[in-house]
Structure 1
């Protein structure tokens, strides 16, 4: 479970301080699904980075299973990210010179698994996202939707408890957007993931059970009974 209390992130814009997040309190239950929305530059990605331990708050606490990510030494924070948190990004972030199989395997290297174990788990994960027949394809040889499937496989191959997605359908057309969201929804349910997604797409937000809206650094959470 995530428990955020008084989370503030302050930047300097010239000589003026700007709060991207201002005293955010938020709870995300294990296995929950939350969509984050708000205006461009309004703190959505900042909040996601805090949840993933990619950035630290100026003030406040961000507890994951009782451990404050904001106070962990960098070595322990790196271990938490490697073992417990999967990331999916709008731009896929695949290594262009590596095959689909090799890109997925990269997530397992920090876990110290042997080469055979890495190959087997990566192959299984590619199969689970519908790319079992494309392990040797480079990113340039795949469509945007296929590249995002590889990125999802890479996020989940380490079997994390948390999946964080930053505009995962932002570079996809409408039909491919729906395919990727159906895949993510299925994997969320299958693996019991805690799933947090940033999106500007209101049609996706309406399908989520909870929506956190950020405005002027403040977060308002609404429950969607129809989801």
Structure 2
């Protein structure tokens, strides 16, 4: 059976070119970067990016480059073979998203989503059997287990000076594409809540969309899993 939305999205040679550009970029591309490479009008590029995102071929998130102000959208190709999260998690995420985005005019949707996510992360960590949550593996492994249960397919990329997890899959892909600020905030909150629930040391916990060529990156503020 033909995947109609994707085939329609790729019916334009310009969109095919844009998809190739994004795929070739190590950390994704912004609309401005694509304009420079294609000489297309910015409005045309944004329309093509929206079409590719709606079709599930691209995902987007805010990715700060260290400059002041609101960072631009950065796009990357959607992971192939992504497995959706279990139905109860997806239903909960969708309900939270609807509640949060109803108040987008209040500002800081990402911050409010993170608050909700922290409570959710604490609950998910608490549901892990005590012998697993308190064994010698430590809090980094417990956070990874929470993320695995949700379908993020985390890999431990670094252990020192801080733990770094690469999230290879996005189980809420269509929700992220529609409301990336809220969903990325929710995911960050889940990590923070799980981390604190299992005794992770204080410090800045970060989630960097497009932080690696094929993954989002979680940075945990400790080497707590090492002696």
TM-score if structure 1 supplies the norm length?
0.25
Quick one: higher RCO (CA 8 Å, sep 6+), 1 or 2?
Answer: 1
More helix by share: 2
More strand by share: 1
